[in-house]
């Protein structure tokens, strides 16, 4: 069984999380400049079996598209062209950044560390993936 890779795609940075091989637990992998994601995934997939991409679907509170959604959909299309054999599922990401900040506060991170946007993006991808794993247990 292959891993699931979650992507919290943004204009500047993308947080990446990955499941364990049994698809029980999500773990943060890294945050990279968004322009480097495809090359990173090519290398990662060359070394690991990946069966599914979970991409955060940016929506506003009223479910309308956010300003980043068009960018995310273009990224999704590029992801599909590059890795046509790997399924892609879009998942609501509306509360992941808020939950990431709360987790960092509860984890005792200092204010300066909580302002690290790369850490927030990676943690958001992890929360997105863990939520997906829990929702889709077989």
Collect the ranges in the chain with pLDDT lower than 70: 59-66, 94-119, 138
Q: Which CATH entry fits the domain spanning 3-135: 1.20.120.1760, 3.40.50.360, 3.30.420.140, 1.10.10.10? A: 3.30.420.140
Query: What pTM, to 2 d.p., does this model score?
Result: 0.83
**CB-CB contact of 17 with 27 (8 Å):** yes
Residue 95 confidence (pLDDT) = 60
């Amino acid at each position: 069984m292959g891993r699931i890779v979650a992507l919290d795609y943004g204009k500047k940075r993308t947080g990446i999380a990955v499941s364990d091989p049994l698809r029980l637990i999500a773990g943060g992998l890294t945050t990279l400049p968004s322009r480097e994601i495809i090359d990173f995934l090519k290398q990662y997939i060359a070394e690991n079996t990946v069966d599914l991409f979970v991409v955060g679907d940016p929506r506003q509170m009223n479910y309308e598209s956010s300003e980043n959604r068009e960018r995310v959909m273009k990224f999704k299309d590029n992801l599909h062209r590059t890795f046509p054999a790997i399924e892609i599922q879009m998942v609501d990401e509306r509360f992941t950044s808020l939950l990431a900040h709360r987790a960092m506060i509860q984890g005792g991170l200092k204010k300066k560390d909580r302002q690290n946007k790369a850490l927030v993006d990676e943690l958001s991808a992890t929360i997105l993936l863990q939520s997906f794993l829990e929702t889709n247990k077989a």
